[in-house]
Amino acid sequence: MSVVGGRETSQVRRRHLAALAYEVEARGLAWRFAGPGESVLTVLVPRTSRQVMVVATPVGDGWSYLWPGGGIADVTDVPHVADQLARLLG
């Protein structure tokens, strides 16, 4: 992969994670970026400190979110992913 391709991938990844951050915040959860190049989204419950880390990764011709416990969903389904994370952390 070229340097430009890597930069573009990084930008797309961060954009997908930012969209998810917006949705989880709307559900009362907190979040922060972590990892190299802010490549991981940490989602947490402020009052309990329960947390889960989410990545966005290229899959085939699209992108998916991945999280522990076998969680996987297409990045086009952001509200559903946010709901799943809220239930997981609830």
Among 80, 54, 52, CA closest to 65: 54
What's the confidence (pLDDT) of residue 2?
A: 38
What's the confidence (pLDDT) of residue 37?
A: 86
Structure tokens at 19: 């969209």
Cα gap 55→67, rounded to integer Å: 7
- Per-residue pLDDT tens digits for 14-64: 999 999 999 999 999 999 999 998 899 999 999 998 999 999 999 998 999
What's the confidence (pLDDT) of residue 71?
A: 95
What's the confidence (pLDDT) of residue 1?
A: 36
